[in-house]
Structure 1
Amino acid sequence: MINYSADSVQAGAGNADFARIRRIVKTDEFSSVFRLRPVFRTSHFVLYARANHLSHARLGVVAAKRFAPRAVTRNTIKRVTREIFRCAALKNVDCIVRLSRPVNSKDGPATTACLRRELRAEILRLFAAPACQQTG
């Protein structure tokens, strides 16, 4: 059994966390970023970005059920996006990644290694976009 003390939890709360302050959670925050034109598009995703007055970047992920009917797929999209965002080292920017086309259907497998690789490659391209880097 693993014993987590308050000190060990605090020590692990470095750059690898995804705390609430690093998320866009309020509807008006989403709306203010969505009002802007998309910064970059891939075959399945759209990236919206806006400069913020904070010392860190924030992320919002929108994965609609109509484009990813299975919760497993939607959660995979969110997990992969957050992981890549944490490693991107962006500052002073609010980013929203929105799924804009269907990824898979109910007929196929929910998640496969191939699907995860494709999602990861597309999301990496989003955060490597020159327009996103200039905004931050």
Structure 2
Amino acid sequence: MNGKFSSDRRIVKTDDFSSVFRMRPCARTEHFVLFARLNQLTHARLGIVVAKRFAPRAVTRNTVKRVCREVFRCMQMPAFDCIIRMTSAVNARKGPATSSRLKRILREEVYRLIASRKTNQKNRLW
């Protein structure tokens, strides 16, 4: 697997987001919630929603998205549309916008989020 996360592996259309959001959340962590649904493609796709109220600085929002894409790309996923949505703030406004500690925490939490979905659904399609 190469190091790129191509555009065909991303959910970008509003209709695609809406169809996945209609499903119940599959897994939750302290800062994120995961929605997933089967797709008709041969690969998994990812959508990420990071609200400005939870990460007011663009640097932080971009870091969250980058970490989510990295973890998703590295995990072997079946043909699902997945959306990771941030539900609470990851750092304070007074603290640094991004740091290696924040990236490590985000990476671990997103990995747990996706892995918990996979272990909870072993008997099902995923």
TM-score (norm 2): 0.91
Secondary structure, aligned partner of 1:66: coil
Aligned residue for 2:111?
Answer: 124
Report the aligned-residue RMSD.
1.4
The answer (yes or no) to whether the contact 1:15–1:86 under 8 Å persists in 2 is no
Aligned residue for 1:26?
Answer: 13
Secondary structure, aligned partner of 1:128: helix
Aligned residue for 1:99?
Answer: 86
Counterparts in 2 of 1:1-136, with a 5 A limit? Answer: 15-129=2-116, 130-131=119-120, 134-136=124-126
Q: Point out where structure 2 has 5 or more consecutive residues left out of the alignment.
A: none
Counterpart amino acid of 1:113? Answer: S
Counterpart amino acid of 2:80? Answer: V
State the Cα distance separating 1:16 from its structure 2 match.
2.6
State the Cα distance separating 1:91 from its structure 2 match.
1.6
TM-score (norm 1): 0.85
Q: Point out where structure 1 has 5 or more consecutive residues left out of the alignment.
A: 1-13
State the Cα distance separating 1:105 from its structure 2 match.
2.5
Cα offsets for 1:32-81 (capped at 9, x unmatched): 00011100000000000001111000000001100001111110100011
**Equivalent residues, number:** 123
- Which structure's CA Rg is the greater one? 1
